[in-house]
Amino acid sequence: MNYTTQMDAARKGILTREMEATAKKEGMKPEELMVLVAEGKAVIPANKHHSCLDPNAIGSMLKTKINVNLGTSRDLNDMDLELKKVEDAVLMGAESIMDLSSFGDTRKFRKRLTSQCPAMIGTVPIYDAVVYYHKPLKEITSEEWIQIVEMHALDGVDFMTIHVGINRQTAHRFKEAKRLTNIVSRGGSIIFAWMEMTGNENPFYEHFDRILEICREHDVTLSLGDACRPGCIEDASDISQIEELVTLGELTRRAWEKDVQVIIEGPGHMPLDQIAANMKIQQTICKGAPFYVLGPLVTDIAPGYDHITAAIGGAIAAAAGASFLCYVTPAEHLRLPDADDVKEGIISARIAAHAADLAKGIKGAKEWDHQMSDARKRLDWEAMFNLAIDPEKARRYRASSKPEKEDTCSMCGNFCAMKNMNRILDGEIVNIYDE
């Protein structure tokens, strides 16, 4: 192989198997995608050791991708159950799985994922270090933090969230500025606590060049984590968030100098009116690197319905330039999601992604809606089910309320506008009343 990363290949004008495959999915020429990868405006997370990967490209001019967070926890440590959720998530259309396991034999689970799962796999090595070393947080050394990154790279992880933007300067600014909900990023809170207890610089920031060497060797895409993402509406777009974003912009440039692919993580909780502006600021500061948003949740008051608050924000964010949406389930802020929560989260994120793709004019998006509308007009229920984003639910709902007239539904019955318009335009008499 005469290249290191996908970005290196693109810059050398080498069309990789991954570029060919992902360009085909996007309905574009591989050469067009190659230019975007070379510029950092699109990434193809594809670790050299993830041999069963069915790759996808991420970029704001491409179809919006979605990620599903799964993994074992101390309260629910069932590896087979989590793997079943992973399989289901892929079948439901998730292009990416983030393994956030925080209990048990996390390496075994991770290796099973990268040997069986065709979706791109992301991890957060910070969580894993706490589990792996079996010792108090304060005693983990800088070297050990970096070694975990290397282990994940060797295990075939396609992208890693590294909370590198919260260095001592950002942490100082954060403490001075004060926030309603402090740091809500799990990884961010861990590394902040470590920095406070040891007095040391963030090891990922201090040794960023070593991280880049590891990513370059195995072709791991860096997902620059947003430790200071706002965790409530009141903290949105505050100085801590923006200061960290400026640092992430600098680190993006350094990563690109080493041909390492980069995505940037973003908010968080954010009111509707700030979302589009945030996307533009990110694109400017990070020179068009793909933006991966965790929501944004557009209000704080809907526990149990945060798949909806996130889908509203996610649609606006993706329409304004975000490329990658992290799903949010109804269980957010309440518990580990079960299988039903996972399904609702995935469908909600896919709706948000597709709504944005329609607005952005992404190839193929409009055609799907056209086919559905055509099936509706023809009252072709089987076609409608097959085209539905959740065919099972569409079938179940119709079956649960049988209409008197088979071709209509129980919503309007004889008053079915679709049916009556078809008939009158075909020259039939439409009585409605006595039919």
CB of 380 to ligand SF4, least distance (A): 11
Residues 3-32 that bind ligand SF4 (CB under 6 A): none
> Minimum Å distance from CB 409 to ligand SF4?
3
Nearest CA to 230 among 219, 245, 216, 215?
A: 245
Find the shortest distance in angstroms from Cβ 307 to ligand SF4: 25
Output 411 or 429, the one with its CB closest to ligand SF4.
Answer: 411
Residue 412 assigned as binding residue = yes
Helix axes 208-218, 142-154, angle to 10 degrees: 10
Q: SS3 for 139?
A: helix
Structure tokens at 106: 């996390």
Are 156 and 111 in contact by the 8 Å Cβ rule? The answer is yes
State yes or no: 101 annotated in a binding site. Answer: no
Nearer to ligand SF4, 331 or 416 (CB): 416
Residue 163 is assigned to a ligand binding site: yes
How many residues line the site for ligand SF4 (CB under 6 A)?
8
Q: Consult the annotation and say whether 160 binds a ligand.
A: no
Q: Find the shortest distance in angstroms from Cβ 423 to ligand SF4.
A: 12
Looking at the chain, how many residues does it have? 435
Can you tell me the distance from the alpha carbon of 94 to that of 109, in angstroms, rounded to the nearest whole number? Answer: 19
The residue among 117 and 409 lying less far from ligand SF4, judged by its C-beta, is 409
The answer to the question of residue 432 lying near ligand SF4 (CB under 6 A) is no
How big is the CA angle at 205 (ends 200 and 209), to the nearest 5 degrees?
125
For 121, the enclosing helix (H) or strand (E) is strand 120-123
List binders of ligand SF4 among 372-431 (CB under 6 A).
Answer: 408-409, 411-412, 416-419
According to the annotation, is 69 in a ligand binding site?
yes
DSSP β-bridge partners for residue 159: 122, 221
CA distance 116 to 158: 14
In angstroms, the CA 245 to CA 227 distance is 10
State the distance between the two ends of the chain, measured CA to CA, in whole angstroms: 72
**Cβ distance to ligand SF4 smaller for residue 106 or 408:** 408
Residue closer to ligand SF4, measured from CB, 399 or 411: 411
From the annotation, which residues make up the binding site for Zn(2+)? 269, 333
**Which residue ranges make up the site for ligand SF4 (CB under 6 A)?**
408-409, 411-412, 416-419
